[in-house]
């Protein structure tokens, strides 16, 4: 890992370590204008035993891991680790043309303030000397697609505002269109840029077209999230989904009618299924190379695809029957200090007495691993009462940071109850400045603490509060708190479960 340098944009590449990754990195290293932007590779292998095969690529590369959660989660991990105004997403199987980086910078600098993103243009090189296969033609369809993340650059502030990519899209399919719809409908447009990348078709197995029907479930998620107009809004083709459902339905009816002795219905339904399957196979065979292997693949998979499409459509309708718009992970998680992260020693000014509570290190590390900034908001009335000095209280804060790692922000109130300040919890005067310092939206901020004052400070700032009771917590406080966790680990798990967090927080 090499030291990163700031720039206009950060390149984020989710990868499973395919051989094409090195081709991409070599193409970036060979740009006509030297690469000055940091490159973040998000290793999404579920259990990467070995480092990514980067070879001797002459680029400044940082590798982070996302644990096999899918490309949407990997891209989120990447942009959260970026600190540039723009984030440029590339897939690991594309090849930028030699002047791509120069054109990217020009695209970014030319967009007006109201534009939230710029999309690269994509070309799919098809073979010469023969007709393309069905899989190659399918890949070529990407050339006219809107908003595909193979080459998509977005303002980081826009990603933060909408919560990034929806991690319910576990495949590299529709997650980019969903993101773009949320951005363009709420914030501003995404323009087509002047830069180009090449997307060579990957080798495919015999059943690749059948496996790809899992995308129908993602289409049903799009339907639930954006309504029936989503195809028109994103210029996405409607495809043959409902025709596939009808063909599969005819096949099922033919089978059931045969089993129940209804021969006439069986013949009619069987003929319908056979005609639909034959038409579909012919549609796929005729434009292709028509060699023996391709014809065999088309015949077999054309019989299987309607059933796979119908199954995944039904699965998606059921699984996504009750969904809400994605809001993503918090912009910031703020912890109370005493009694939450460390043992509560009243009016402690001695760093030697600092002792972490169980799970504190694990909880903070987990948030950082997901790219969520963490901070501290702490009442220290002992300063106003003359029991400790401000320097001593800050020394304790420094010791906490020594044990848990540096915090993005630390806010401390030195006042006592009767001082009338606006920073002592339950007032919001520490939460709001903390949000401002790290450019976090208060409504996308979480405060975790062990008293009602922590929860009320969050509420007053418009943030979400999570109470983690301990032996010193008043027994009446958990009943009044909107969100209660049994442990610090459970509180962080809730903070990292956006669908549960924001729905519960909206009811506060």
Catalytic entry in 166, 176, 218, 338: 338
> DSSP string covering 411-465, please?
EEE---GGG--SSSTTSSTTHHHHHHHTT--GGGEEEEESSHHHHHHHHHHT-EE
Catalytic entry in 176, 336, 450, 454: 336
Query: What SS3 class is residue 216?
Result: helix
Q: Is the dihedral of CA 273, 276, 281, 284 positive or negative?
A: negative
Residue 209 and residue 138 in contact, taking contact as beta carbons nearer than 8 Å: yes
Query: What SS3 class is residue 247?
Result: helix
Q: Is the dihedral of CA 411, 415, 420, 426 positive or negative?
A: positive
Beta-strand (E) ranges in 34-114? 39-43, 61-65, 86-90, 95-96
Judge whether 43 counts as a catalytic residue. Answer: no
Asked if the peptide bond before residue 502 counts as cis, ω within 30 degrees of 0, the response is no
User: How many degrees, rounded to 5, is the angle at CA 469 between CA 350 and CA 508?
Assistant: 120
Residue 421 and residue 429 in contact, taking contact as beta carbons nearer than 8 Å: yes
> DSSP string covering 291-325, please?
-HHHHHHHHHHHHHHHHHHHHHHHHHHHHTSS---
Among 176, 196, 178, 197, residue whose Cα is nearest residue 186:
178
All residues at 6 or more sequence positions from 299 whose CB lies less than 8 Å from its CB, including other chains: 281, 285
All residues at 6 or more sequence positions from 81 whose CB lies less than 8 Å from its CB, including other chains: 40, 62, 64, 371
Among 476, 433, 472, residue whose Cα is nearest residue 449:
472
Residue 14 is classified by DSSP as E
Judge whether 336 counts as a catalytic residue. Answer: yes
* Cα distance between residue 505 and residue 485, in whole Å: 13
Catalytic positions, please?
A: 336, 338
């Amino acid at each position: 890992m090499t030291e990163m340098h700031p720039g206009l944009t950060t390149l984020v590449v989710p990868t499973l370590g395919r051989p094409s990754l090195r081709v991409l990195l070599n193409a970036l290293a060979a740009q006509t204008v030297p690469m000055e932007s940091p490159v973040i590779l998000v290793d999404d292998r579920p259990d990467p035993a070995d480092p990514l095969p980067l070879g001797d690529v002459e680029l400044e590369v940082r590798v982070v891991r996302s644990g096999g959660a899918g490309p949407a989660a990997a891209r989120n991990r990447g942009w959260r680790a970026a600190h540039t105004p723009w984030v440029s997403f590339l897939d690991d199987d594309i090849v930028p043309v030699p002047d791509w980086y120069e054109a990217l910078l020009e695209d970014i600098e030319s967009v007006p303030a109201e534009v939230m993103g710029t999309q690269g243009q994509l070309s799919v090189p098809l073979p010469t000397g023969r007709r393309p296969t069905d899989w190659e033609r399918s890949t070529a369809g990407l050339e006219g697609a809107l908003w595909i993340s193979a080459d998509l650059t977005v303002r980081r502030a826009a990603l933060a505002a909408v919560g990034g990519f929806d991690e319910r899209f576990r495949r590299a399919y529709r997650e980019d269109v969903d993101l773009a719809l949320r951005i363009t409908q709420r914030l501003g447009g995404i323009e087509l840029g002047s830069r180009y990348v090449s997307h060579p078709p990957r080798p495919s197995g015999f059943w690749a077209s059948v496996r790809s029907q899992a995308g129908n479930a993602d289409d049903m998620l799009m339907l639930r999230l954006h309504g029936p107009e989503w195809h028109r809004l994103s210029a996405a083709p409607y495809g043959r989904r409902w025709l596939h459902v009808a063909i599969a339905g005819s096949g099922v009816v033919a089978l059931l009618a045969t089993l129940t002795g209804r021969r006439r219905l069986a013949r009619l339904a069987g003929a319908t299924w056979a005609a639909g399957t034959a038409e579909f196979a012919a549609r796929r065979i005729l434009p292709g190379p028509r060699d023996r292997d391709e014809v065999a693949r088309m015949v077999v998979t054309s019989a299987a695809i309607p059933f796979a499409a119908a199954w995944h459509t039904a699965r998606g309708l059921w699984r996504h029957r009750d969904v809400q718009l994605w809001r993503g992970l918090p912009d910031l998680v703020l912890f109370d200090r005493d009694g939450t992260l460390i043992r509560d020693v009243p009016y402690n000014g001695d760093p030697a007495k600092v002792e972490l509570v169980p799970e504190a290190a694990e909880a903070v590390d987990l948030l950082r691993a997901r790219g969520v900034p963490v901070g501290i908001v702490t009442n220290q009335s002992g300063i106003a009462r003359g029991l400790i000095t401000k320097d001593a209280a800050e020394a304790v804060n420094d010791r906490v940071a020594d044990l848990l790692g540096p915090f993005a922000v630390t806010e401390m109130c030195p006042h006592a109850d009767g001082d009338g300040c606006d920073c002592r919890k339950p007032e919001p005067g520490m939460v709001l400045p903390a949000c401002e310092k790290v450019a976090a939206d208060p409504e996308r901020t979480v405060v975790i603490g062990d008293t009602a004052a922590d929860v009320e400070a969050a509420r007053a700032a418009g943030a979400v509060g999570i109470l983690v009771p301990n032996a010193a917590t008043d027994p009446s406080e958990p009943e009044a708190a909107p969100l209660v966790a049994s442990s610090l680990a459970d509180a962080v798990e809730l903070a990292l479960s956006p669908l549960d967090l924001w729905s519960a927080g909206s009811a506060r």
